[in-house]
Amino acid sequence: MTSPYSRITGTGSYLPPRRLTNADLVAELAAKGVETSDDWIVERTGIRARHFADADTTCSDLAVHAARHAMEAAGVQAQDIDLIIVATSTPDMVFPSAACIVQNKLGIHGCPAFDVQAVCSGFVYALTVADAMVRTGSARKALVIGAEVFSRILDFSDRTTCVLFGDGAGAVVLEASDTPGILASDLHADGKHVGILCVPGQVSGGSVVGSPLLTMDGPAVFKLAVGVLEEAARAALAKAGKTHDDIDWLIPHQANIRIMQSTAKRLKMSMDKVIVTVDQHGNTSAASIPLALDAGVRSGQIKKGQTLMLEGVGGGFTWGAVLLNL
């Protein structure tokens, strides 16, 4: 049986317990001879703290916690799930996918499970794929997860990147519905920008060839991000026949408060309508949007029936937006 729409019925998230304030990180970096400051980090990014997973905690561990919270919120049992998509760039292994490992840890067997690799746009990509699969009858109750352990790929001698990122996971249950949930999405990529944000290494012959650590031209990413986020939001609104006035909450990728402020301004939206978690989470890549969504839902800011604009941008270069009714 197919249903015309898909709808989010539960959200969940999880942050590893180890929380580092800027002061904690600044002290750790100073001990390694890397100079930065709370003032610089707050002023240039809005970040005040981030969470780092312990060495024995994997991406799938974080994903499973978030998935359980989302299933609980949706009133769905693990055995009801018939599709698992994990958006991540920091999976437990080269293969199998984090999604297969999550599936096993949840005690689910047989349903399709796969990862989506679109870096910080991963969650909006994964949600769009899940929406299409639900609407065409391939699934009725999907788990869509964004989970990352970016602390594993940070170069702690590079102050221009290591202060920006954190670890965490967010998840939603997306179910077949007779009423509209996901209203429209708009996804893009332009591979000519591969070099501005990447981990340029690969595993070959038993060792890493190239670098296994993140490298980014921050100002170049910043410049591109602001423009494409506005375009993707406007395209999703147009597809759904809506305007910016119809958006109750903007939930952008949480990379930098200044990017969020510029995007809101371009969309003629007040910052009062933007969910902000970058101050407490840092940039958690594919996890940042579902983490922010769950934070907004659980704080009571976001209410059922409201219209949300989710927006991602990141390595690839990838970007996209999903407009939905909760």
Residues serving a catalytic function are: 120, 253, 283
Interaction mask 104-143, ligand UT7, x per CB under 6 A: ----------------x-----------------------
Angle at 55 (CA atoms; ends 194, 96), nearest 5 degrees: 55
- Selected from 99, 101, 251, 255, the binder of ligand UT7 by CB under 6 A is 255
**Distance from chain centroid for Cα 117:** 11
- Selected from 21, 36, 57, 117, the binder of ligand UT7 by CB under 6 A is 36
- Kindly determine how many residues on this chain lie close enough to bind ligand UT7 according to the rule CB under 6 A: 21
Q: How is 80-121 classified by DSSP, letter by letter?
A: G--EEEEE-SS-SSSSS-HHHHHHHHTT--SS-EEEE--GGG
Give the Cα separation of 125 and 312 in Å (integer).
9
Binding span for ligand UT7 by CB under 6 A among 2-10, 55-63, 98-106, 158-166: 158-166
Which residues, 6 or more positions from 83, have their beta carbon under 8 angstroms from its beta carbon?
Answer: 111, 112, 113, 130, 133, 134, 138, 139, 141, 142, 143
**By the rule CB under 6 A, 314 interacts with ligand UT7:** yes
195-234: contacts with ligand UT7 (CB under 6 A): 197, 218-219, 221-222, 225
Taking the alpha carbons at both ends of the chain, their separation in whole angstroms is 23
Comparison of 40 and 114: residue with beta carbon closer to ligand UT7: 40
- Selected from 283, 284, 318, 325, the binder of ligand UT7 by CB under 6 A is 283
- Contact between residue 98 and residue 63 where contact means Cβ atoms under 8 Å apart: yes
Q: Among 214, 173, 171, which Cα is nearest to 62's?
A: 171
**By the rule CB under 6 A, 318 interacts with ligand UT7:** no
**By the rule CB under 6 A, 259 interacts with ligand UT7:** yes
Contact positions vs ligand UT7 (CB under 6 A): 36, 40, 44-45, 120, 159-160, 163, 197, 218-219, 221-222, 225, 255-256, 259, 283, 285, 313-314
